[in-house]
Each structure stands twice: as structure tokens, then as C-alpha cells.
């Protein structure tokens, strides 16, 4: 059905007819392919994931497949500002880049290791040999940290950016009868534990904190704000064309922030890293001792 909407803009009355329909907000808000004009560096793809929601795995799989088909030899997964979402999608997305049998994450209840459940990869991921860099920041949390930690622990992805949030807990929704209505309680019931915890930091009490990037790149607050604004602007166009691929030149981190990826030092650092396969591989071999995960 149609709905008539009246708008008043700049002293002008505007009438619009809008078709009622469900609006699907994609979780993949950017798909891009970076290449140099002289082909001096291999092409690298970018997939920017806003949150982990139903169908996120299919979106990521389709995006990476599109990028690889276009000639990319490596991929950047941007999880900056991604506060998480569905646990099952985090496991499924991780599985795209891992091999069969690899552990993605372990969960434990209050009884600690006795209640541990392991989520593993069921079949070989289609992109298990594709070099990956994952962008993280202080807002990358929960499901984002599951993916980043799993790929880092299995030496599949280098982490670039700043320390992640450090949210290693899961919540359950519990329905509580209340007369003719129902109440809903969101209760923390489990803790997450990466396969090894190679890049998990520790706070002053020894508790698990955020993931520590392999390549630390800080961004001043104003630049970060401008990057977020431009990212949001680019994402609006994807609502109508969620599968579109943007072909972009290699960005310059030293110029003003724009919608081409320029002025983004974290993105530029990841592109430089993936353009040097030997350096990428060497970083993945460097690891701190596996975390001594506490039973809870």
C-alpha cells in the first residue's frame, strides 16, 4: 500500500507518495577494492561490517567472493565501531577464514572450565588461504572480538588499530511471566575465551581486557570523527545497492579525510602491511604466551 507524506522544507510544501515496505539495513556497509594506477601493488579488498545480525555471514561471504573475483589477493575486515551482535554469526563469519576443526571460541558458565563449550569450524572455509588484516578500535567489542581473536590465534589475520573494548561476556534473554504479560531479563551467563588468547591484554587485576593490535595506529578524536561521518555517508548509498563494489585508488593517510579513504591512518597501515606479505607473515609468528584464562 501507499502512504501520502507531507513535508515542509524552505517555505515549500512537498507531497510524496511512499510505498510501504520493509527496509533492510545491511550489516556490510562497504565493499571496496583498492588498486594502484601502475599496478605496483597487489589489489586489496575492504569489507566494513557494522554489526553481527541475521544474514551477516552471507553478506560477508558474498562481499569477499565479489572482491576476490575482481582480482584482490588480500582482504581488510573493518570492525571499528562494531559493538557486536549475534554469537552464531561471529562463529560463522570466523569459519569463512579458518580450516575444519579449528576452534573459534570457548564459552564457560559460572562453574568455569567444567561447563566449557567449544565452537569449532565444521568445514574448510572458502577464504582460509586469503591474507587478512582486521581493523579494531575501542568500540570493537563482543562478537567483533570473537572474530578478531580467532583469526589472530590461528595466524590468519593481523590486527591493526587500537586496543579493542574487552567485552568477554555473553548475555541470555530470560522470559519471566508477570500476570497477563511477560517481562524480559537480560542476564550475563557466560564468558568468552579465545582459542589461545595470543593478543588479549590484561588489566591491573589480571582480568582479560581488550585485544592488543599487532600494528598499533592511533587516530586523533577529530580525525576519527571525520572518518566516521564519511563512512556513514558512504553507507547510505548501500541501502539501495548493498552488493555494489567501489573501485578506489590507494588512499593517502597524510591528506584530509574524504569518502575515498584518504586521511585514514589505520586503513593505510593495513594496506601497507598486506602489500608486504613477508612482513604480514612475520607479525603473525610473533605472539605473547597464551593467556592464562581464569575459570569462572
For 116-137, what is the mean pLDDT?
A: 98
Angle, helices 56-69 vs 87-95, to 10°: value is 20
**Residue 237: pLDDT above 80?**
no
The answer to whether residue 4 sits within a structural domain is: no
The answer to whether residue 61 sits within a structural domain is: yes
Kindly give the residue spans of alpha helices, DSSP state H, lying in the chain.
56-69, 87-95, 143-153, 221-238, 265-274, 277-285
**How many domains is the chain partitioned into structurally?**
1
The answer to whether residue 11 sits within a structural domain is: no
**Residue 295: pLDDT above 60?**
no
The answer to whether residue 149 sits within a structural domain is: yes
- 49 close to 61: Cβ distance less than 8 angstroms: no
**Residue 230: pLDDT above 70?**
yes
Residue with cell 604466551: 289
The answer to whether residue 50 sits within a structural domain is: yes
The answer to whether residue 9 sits within a structural domain is: no
The residue segments making up the domain with residue 219 are 25-285
pLDDT tens digit string along 174-197?
888 877 788 899 899 999 999 999
Helix (H) / strand (E) element for 132: namely strand 132-136
**pLDDT score, position 289:** 44
The answer to whether residue 102 sits within a structural domain is: yes
- Of 192-201, 234-243, 287-296, give the lowest mean pLDDT range: 287-296
pLDDT tens digit string along 63-74?
999 999 999 999
The answer to whether residue 63 sits within a structural domain is: yes
Query: Chain centroid to CA 30: how far?
Result: 12
- For residue 173, give the CATH number of its domain: 3.90.226.10
- 194 close to 208: Cβ distance less than 8 angstroms: no
| Cell triple for 207 | 582480568
Amino acid at each position: 500500500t501507499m502512504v501520502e507524506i507531507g513535508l515542509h522544507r524552505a517555505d515549500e510544501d512537498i507531497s510524496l507518495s511512499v510505498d510501504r515496505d520493509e527496509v533492510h539495513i545491511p550489516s556490510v556497509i562497504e565493499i571496496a577494492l583498492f588498486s594502484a594506477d601502475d599496478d605496483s601493488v597487489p589489489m586489496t579488498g575492504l569489507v566494513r561490517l557494522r554489526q553481527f545480525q541475521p544474514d551477516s555471514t552471507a553478506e560477508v561471504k558474498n562481499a569477499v567472493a565479489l572482491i576476490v573475483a575482481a582480482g584482490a589477493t588480500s582482504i581488510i575486515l573493518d570492525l571499528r565501531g562494531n559493538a557486536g551482535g549475534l554469537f552464531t554469526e561471529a562463529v560463522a563469519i570466523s569459519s569463512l577464514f579458518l580450516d575444519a576443526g579449528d576452534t573459534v571460541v570457548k564459552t564457560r558458565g559460572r562453574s568455569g572450565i567444567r561447563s566449557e563449550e567449544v565452537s569449532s569450524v565444521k568445514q574448510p572455509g572458502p577464504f582460509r588461504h586469503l591474507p587478512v588484516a582486521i581493523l579494531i578500535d575501542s568500540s570493537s567489542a563482543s562478537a567483533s572480538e570473537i572474530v578478531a581473536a580467532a583469526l589472530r590465534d590461528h595466524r590468519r589475520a593481523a590486527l591493526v588499530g587500537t586496543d579493542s573494548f574487552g567485552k568477554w561476556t555473553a548475555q541470555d534473554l530470560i522470559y519471566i511471566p508477570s500476570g497477563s504479560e511477560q517481562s524480559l531479563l537480560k542476564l550475563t551467563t557466560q564468558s568468552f575465551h579465545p582459542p589461545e588468547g595470543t593478543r588479549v591484554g590484561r588489566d591491573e587485576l589480571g582480568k582479560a581486557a581488550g585485544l592488543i593490535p599487532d600494528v598499533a595506529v592511533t587516530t586523533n578524536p577529530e580525525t576519527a570523527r571525520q572518518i566516521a561521518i564519511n563512512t556513514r555517508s558512504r553507507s547510505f548509498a548501500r541501502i539501495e545497492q548493498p552488493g555494489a563494489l567501489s573501485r578506489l585508488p590507494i588512499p593517502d593517510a597524510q591528506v584530509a579525510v574524504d569518502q575515498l579513504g584518504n586521511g585514514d591512518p589505520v586503513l593505510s597501515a593495513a594496506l601497507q602491511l598486506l602489500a608486504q606479505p613477508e612482513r604480514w607473515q612475520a607479525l603473525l609468528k610473533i605472539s605473547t604466551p597464551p593467556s592464562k584464562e581464569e575459570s569462572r
